[in-house]
Structure 1
């Protein structure tokens, strides 16, 4: 099922508008992220040949209207919506346009404000419509505790790690002024047993952008800026598959096997496996997700994720750092830009520009998101 690119694709620019919980105008978030990515690449909007904008909330024509702030050059503009995987999907579509030879330079721009989400938890028939996402993840967490002996302390350690990674990320929504402890996480406001408010993804508004281009363009930019080439090693997407005894687990994340099969395809496309990944970003809306994705993405065996946490392997400085920018829990999860914020973080890490959260000798990075429905998207970058 793996697809090889017709030609190599490189990330040449990334940018963000800080994720915030302060009702910043979404148009400002989109413009700020787009301009930041163009400046980062040293390009003008006239150099962009196609634009995929990703957002969940807002109005039908917002993407077209917001793009006019960057320029009116006649380029194709396409709105992408794939729930939490919206930004990841927009990035993949931009990559495929360059890989297929349709354009030489493409932009993926995500923006959103999840304060505008309405109707979550209202029923239109069926259980999925009346159980809030927090309840789905809580049930998933309790099941893990029952089957594997996972404790609340493990969940709290994951969340505290992500809060502490975000302390050194100026774009993060939640920037604590002190080292957050697992005890502090446990003692925060209760959401749904076993989870508390400091274990839940921060939602608000923000923007993120990535520009991808051919090797010729990437080499010119790298030479001008003295930066390494960042190649897209894999950009894959799957949806859940019907199997014998299939259980429809609701519209939040889909069955765990979906992430496992997407990861297999991504590693095949990249030509290397989880043992070669330097850092990973995942859909960590609650710590139960990050814990399970350690296993489903192949970084340890089933049931062994708790040991990774206990040994500090998934913190910066550990064997496989996860959510180095704070993840959905602390960097935040505005929706449309979330997957592109992951690309932004990996690009900085591979360039060696991540400051106090820099992963030593980072050469590869994996970005994973799932979208309600359910879909799974994995993008892998490597320092060429």
Structure 2
């Protein structure tokens, strides 16, 4: 199995683009990634495109805009893990020797729905009875608060940190800081969440160019190496489930750490799937950044700040950068690659050498989540 490196990344600022088609969002990110890689587009042998709501042939539609055609294009849907799953497919294709150069795209246009919660699969029993994702995470939050004494203020501090980081990120959808008081006073959504504790939907695209590690130095002096790539699905469990433990992430983290030969203490910077404020706290524990039940104090004492023990969501995360579902995983990878290259300006994590991305999603009856993709990178 061959080693894989990232040689190019690109994305567009996340936001609302009501007058753009999906392909209009995607091709500028692809062009930016190819330019960043300093590679002739003709060298790209295959493309993998992740999108949850983008419709048929999303990858072909995007690549056709910039004259890339005739190569194998695989379109991937895996809920919020769509483009991180596409990235894993690209990694495996290079590892196996099938290709030397691969393009990965993540793209989504959620403004087409006009706002509100995202449509879920009506075939699912709980969805047919009215369950929505803010309610699922709100139940997790309430149980965690009951079990471990997490306060409303500690929960809201996640959003304060995220917006502080997002204010330093020109690609973020939300670029203004907020106070604790503003988070708590914002409109109620699903108890205990207020509006500023829920990720904003929007539109966006991100792209990544991969190649074999042996060839990477021909294009960049600072390639970032992929040292772990894991994808796992939720396990079905009827009846009681401990909602304070994101089992799918715990299992995926174990696999990724084993593949990389690293552990929690080796991670300098992480982009985790903070769709709602409680999620980031639970993922501190799932990845071993702190002990069970200690996430609130870990955050409060600066453990996840830019200069903390492990900088979590320096991009602003989903809460600030936004969550165009199919684009999220690829955008997380863009952020980590830029962090490891030292390109992030005011939000740069000092001496970052190892970074992690984590995208999970797809609530289903009986599953803690549908899919979870975790990647670890090293410079």
Shorter-chain TM-score range: over 0.9
Query: Which residue does 1:358 correspond to in 2?
Result: 348
| Contact 2:199–2:320 (8 Å) recurs in 1 | yes
- Tell me, yes or no, if structure 1 residue 147 matches structure 2 residue 147: yes
| Contact 1:240–1:254 (8 Å) recurs in 2 | no
What is the CA–CA distance in structure 1 between the aligned matches of 2:262 and 2:122, rounded to whole Å?
A: 44
- Given the superposition, is the C-alpha separation of residues 112 and 94 from structure 1 closer, same or farther in structure 2, using an over 3 Å criterion? same
- Given the superposition, is the C-alpha separation of residues 211 and 121 from structure 1 closer, same or farther in structure 2, using an over 3 Å criterion? closer
Q: How far is the alpha carbon of 1:353 from its aligned partner? A: 0.4
- Tell me, yes or no, if structure 1 residue 51 matches structure 2 residue 14: no
What is the CA–CA distance in structure 2 between the aligned matches of 1:255 and 1:162, rounded to whole Å?
A: 22
1:99-119 per-position Cα deviation (integer Å, ceiling 9, x unaligned): 111100101101111233597
Q: How far is the alpha carbon of 1:156 from its aligned partner? A: 1.0
| Contact 2:60–2:69 (8 Å) recurs in 1 | no
Alignment of 1:286-325 (within 5 A): 286-325=276-315
Q: Alpha carbon RMSD of aligned pairs, Å?
A: 1.9
- Given the superposition, is the C-alpha separation of residues 368 and 121 from structure 1 closer, same or farther in structure 2, using an over 3 Å criterion? closer
Q: TM-score, normalised by structure 2?
A: 0.93
TM superposition outliers: structure 1 runs of 4+ over 4 Å: 121-125, 245-249
Query: Which residue does 2:125 correspond to in 1?
Result: 126
Query: Which residue does 1:90 correspond to in 2?
Result: 86
- Given the superposition, is the C-alpha separation of residues 79 and 123 from structure 1 closer, same or farther in structure 2, using an over 3 Å criterion? closer
Unaligned runs of 5+ in 1: 1-5
**What secondary structure is seen at the aligned counterpart in 2 of 1:339?**
helix
What is the CA–CA distance in structure 2 between the aligned matches of 1:65 and 1:289, rounded to whole Å?
A: 34
Across the two proteins, how many residue pairs are aligned to each other?
A: 368
- Given the superposition, is the C-alpha separation of residues 92 and 121 from structure 1 closer, same or farther in structure 2, using an over 3 Å criterion? closer
What is the CA–CA distance in structure 2 between the aligned matches of 1:51 and 1:112, rounded to whole Å?
A: 17
What is the CA–CA distance in structure 1 between the aligned matches of 2:271 and 2:126, rounded to whole Å?
A: 30
Q: How far is the alpha carbon of 1:289 from its aligned partner? A: 0.5
Q: TM-score, normalised by structure 1?
A: 0.91
Query: Which residue does 1:190 correspond to in 2?
Result: 188
- Tell me, yes or no, if structure 1 residue 265 matches structure 2 residue 264: no
- Given the superposition, is the C-alpha separation of residues 120 and 185 from structure 1 closer, same or farther in structure 2, using an over 3 Å criterion? same
Query: Which residue does 1:335 correspond to in 2?
Result: 325
Query: Which residue does 1:158 correspond to in 2?
Result: 158
Query: Which residue does 1:107 correspond to in 2?
Result: 103
